[in-house]
Structure 1
Amino acid sequence: MTLFKDPGFNFNGLLALGSSGYGAGEVGEVLTAVNTINKAGLSAQTYTETFRKLGDQLMAAPQGSRPGAQTTRFRALRAAQYYAQALFFVLGSDSPGIEEQLYKAGRGAWDKFCGLCDPAPVTAHIPYGRTPLPVWFFRPDDSGRRRPTVILTNGSDGQNVDMWTYGVPAALDRGWNALVYDGPGQGQLLFVDQVVFTPRWETVVTPLVDWLSARSDVDTGKIALTGLSMAGDLAPRAAVFERRIAALVAMPGVLSPWLGFPPEIREILTPDKEKTNNIWNKEVVPELPPSAAATMKKRIEPFSVPAMLAARQGKMFTDFYTPATLIKSLDITDVVGRIKMPTLVLDYAYEQFYPGQPRQMFDKLTAPKDYVKLTAATGAQLHCSPMAPQQHCEVVFDWLQETLPRG
């Protein structure tokens, strides 16, 4: 299961490889890129450069042929994956300033793919504060039939293409609609509009439910909400307050994203902003090796525009207190017991970021609930089962269909 010796790069490589099951990657392309990167010497630079070039190649016409619509469509989907791979590590590369450009390349590939779907997803911009939420509403067909609908919520560093891998085709194949969206701290709202995460995710989901409820092709009594990765915190938070959600899936269950950070980083945060930032700038930052510095820039940027802009200039952010306080405010330990709708909590063997939290969430739930742990016995281990998204979707959608049966 080892593509790269570094576990961070390896996890992302496995995500790209696993996405091939839904056409959002190609085994040969990914493994060839892995070999190229390892041969050149694994680094953020070689990783970003290799996957960006692969995305560029797929967005161009293949040599010696005139591609049909389906070929163009799926080449664009794979390009979206490879641009996302490059985007993930660009802040640690020699060209961190191309981050927004890389995001737009991936978004362009995603939009091209969507435009060639049949039927193409309905697109809209749903009001949210000063910055509307872009949405893509996928339907099995354009018959207008009322169907159960799942709202797919991304995590803190995923892209739209990940929502394809973790839900859209699985929903469509089962006769469900699927809504993909960028919320604050994600996609367009982060990289272009510069809007960071909010701890009040119900303010994001409620406008989505309003929009869906106004559609004649949505069964308003069967709207489900899923949350992947850190959205295993966001989606349950929204479900506490948005009671029109009929079923909830946390993938995995997350009570406190702050606990996903190393203890030596968490202990820096004190109630005093000046003291906290002095420790960060004078004691921590000078000792950070380049790889750890790049990781911190990436993990903090969805919570701090100044941190993102500094990282794009190759600099480390100086205000640790503000984003750390925001991340800490995402804790839902005290409210999760108020969830009323049936809830599925997923867990994973060797969960890297939130070990123990899925079970803790499950124990706190008072609503009808189920707990499923995906394991190494079938290659579904690690955070979000990167090697087994098809198994992942089977578990989620079998549960959803049983919980919200059609008819």
Structure 2
Amino acid sequence: MKRISGDRHPGPTRRALLTAGAGAALAAGCARGGAPGAPAAASSGPATPTAAAGGLTPGVMTLFKDPAYNFNGLLALGASGAGAAEVGEVLTAVNAINGSGLTAQTYTQTFRTLGDQLLKAPPGAPADGQSKRFRALRAAQYYGQALFFVLGSDDPGSEEQLYKAGRGAWDAFCDLCEPAPVKANVPYGTTPLPVWFFRPDGSDTPRPTVILTNGSDGQNVDMWTYGVPAALDRGWNALVYDGPGQGQLLFVDQVVFTPTWEKVVTPLVDWLSARPDVDPGRIALTGLSMAGDLAPRAAAFETRIAALVAMPGCLEPWLGFPPEIRQILTPDKQETNDIWNKEVVPELPPDAAAVMKKRFEPFSVPAMLEARQGKLFTDFYTPATRIRALSITDVVGRIKAPTLVLDYEGEQFYPGQPRRMYDALTSPKDYLRLTAAQGAQLHCSPMAPQLHCEVVFDWLRTTLGVR
């Protein structure tokens, strides 16, 4: 499998290449949990919109012509199977956005308004607890949809407020669950990790437990879609959490991603192992999207993880960016930032600038705060270096836990990396590619999260010997 090269290209000027690369990043899409990159599994070049979405989202699967918006729309549509969206609501929003003209503003405003409406009383009789519960869950989904594109909208400064609206809807949903998840703050440095511990019932029966790890810009509601009901229906516990660079820690506490994810997971395992309703010998760890890098990193050092699932496998998140973007980074900070500010930024189209704001904010508090002011960050070097530091090529061989590596036909963010991870593993391992024939194509199978969960939990049950 080819490794994507970061070597400089001869021929056209660097400025032309860099600007084209940023445009390609936007064209390929910048969807939740991923990073813009080459869509072809063995490609060494920048992404193309046709390869990224057109051929793999035919007919009614193309909600929006822009692949980035389309991918996010498909995530919302797919979440309906878990009650985290409603098909009619999503498609009505899609029609409204397309009717008004697709922009970050129309997308953000339409889904934010939909979230607001769901937190109000429904038509007809007063809502009972179940209606309020799932209306809040759907609201969390729609706020998450709006949040993703808010930095490109007319009101980027509302990002934290929009995050808090989605978090409030999520908490309202959780409070109405039966039993309600245990909420806690697990110690981590100076900023505790908020956790939501879901259980099938309130007994102290020791149960297998899965820690669900989100990607670079997913929300808690995505962990519901990609694991919580599947765990509960099988008699498992499920732990949802915000780590550095995610959710509360990013948008409120202003803590960015760390490459040492074992320091995040180990306190979670400590907390779980102390509970009577957790079987400490059957704690599994999953990682969705960029967490297909984070979770394996943790498992390389946290030996109490009994089984690991990477969804998809990712060894080097930095390679998810097109070569033209990666070429900006040099060993020298001043040189790097001069290239960025003098050669790239002046010619960067507004939509491409919005992509870069979104991609870099989980790795740089100044970049996030500048984006909320409608500005593009000036320090490219620091966040780019942090992204590159997420490489786990040198530690993946340390993983001892049985590991399932998922891959997806048309994987547009980390092409080729799942197979590279599988080949590098020395632990018991399995590799599975979900396909378009199953309706499970593209990064994280946005249209088939139920199938996705079936694959993951069937493997976990067999691997951990759970009946």
| 1:194 matched residue in structure 2 | 254
| 1:258 matched residue in structure 2 | 318
- Does 2:163 align with 1:98? no
User: Residue 183 of structure 1: which of 231, 238, 243 is its match?
Assistant: 243
| 1:13 matched residue in structure 2 | 73
| 2:348 matched residue in structure 1 | 288
Report Cα offsets for 1:143-173 as digits up to 9, x if no partner: 2111000000000000000000000000000
Report Cα offsets for 1:85-125 as digits up to 9, x if no partner: 00000000000000000000000000000000000000000
User: Residue 440 of structure 2: which of 380, 387, 402 is its match?
Assistant: 380
| 2:274 matched residue in structure 1 | 214
- Does 2:298 align with 1:235? no
- Does 2:91 align with 1:31? yes
C-alpha distance in 2 between matches for 1:265 and 1:287: 14
C-alpha distance in 1 between matches for 2:86 and 2:375: 35
SS in structure 2 at match of 1:8: helix
Equivalent residue letter for 2:96: T
| 1:138 matched residue in structure 2 | 198
Q: 1:138-177 counterparts in 2 under 5 A?
A: 138-177=198-237
User: Residue 70 of structure 1: which of 87, 106, 130 is its match?
Assistant: 130
| 2:331 matched residue in structure 1 | 271
Q: Could you tell me which runs of 5 or more consecutive residues in structure 1 were left unpaired when the two chains were aligned.
A: none
TM-score when scaled to structure 1? 1.00
Deviation at 1:406, TM superposition (A): 2.5
Equivalent residue letter for 1:273: K
Deviation at 1:286, TM superposition (A): 1.2
Report Cα offsets for 1:259-305 as digits up to 9, x if no partner: 00111100000000000000001111111111111011001000000
Deviation at 1:65, TM superposition (A): 2.3
SS in structure 1 at match of 2:171: helix
- Does 2:185 align with 1:125? yes
Equivalent residue letter for 1:59: L
C-alpha distance in 1 between matches for 2:258 and 2:190: 14
- Does 2:448 align with 1:403? no
Deviation at 1:184, TM superposition (A): 0.1
C-alpha distance in 1 between matches for 2:130 and 2:355: 37
User: Residue 81 of structure 1: which of 141, 149, 155 is its match?
Assistant: 141
C-alpha distance in 2 between matches for 1:172 and 1:342: 22
- Does 2:381 align with 1:341? no
Identity %: 82
SS in structure 1 at match of 2:393: coil
SS in structure 1 at match of 2:194: strand
Report Cα offsets for 1:207-259 as digits up to 9, x if no partner: 00000000000000000000000000000000000000000000000000000
SS in structure 1 at match of 2:447: coil
- Does 2:169 align with 1:109? yes
> Higher relative CO (CA 8 A, sep ≥ 6), structure 1 or 2?
2
C-alpha distance in 1 between matches for 2:73 and 2:109: 14
Equivalent residue letter for 2:267: P
SS in structure 1 at match of 2:394: coil
Deviation at 1:62, TM superposition (A): 1.2
| 1:50 matched residue in structure 2 | 110
Equivalent residue letter for 2:117: Q
C-alpha distance in 2 between matches for 1:8 and 1:406: 39
Q: 1:317-336 counterparts in 2 under 5 A?
A: 317-336=377-396
Q: Please tell me the root mean square deviation across aligned C-alpha atoms, in Å.
A: 0.5
C-alpha distance in 1 between matches for 2:325 and 2:116: 37
C-alpha distance in 2 between matches for 1:68 and 1:286: 54
User: Residue 363 of structure 2: which of 290, 300, 303 is its match?
Assistant: 303
C-alpha distance in 1 between matches for 2:457 and 2:137: 23
| 1:205 matched residue in structure 2 | 265
SS in structure 1 at match of 2:407: strand
Structure 1 outlier segments of 4+, above 2 Å: none
| 2:415 matched residue in structure 1 | 355
Report Cα offsets for 1:50-80 as digits up to 9, x if no partner: 0000000001111332000000000000000
User: Residue 427 of structure 2: which of 354, 357, 367 is its match?
Assistant: 367
C-alpha distance in 2 between matches for 1:175 and 1:288: 51
C-alpha distance in 2 between matches for 1:288 and 1:59: 39
TM-score when scaled to structure 2? 0.87
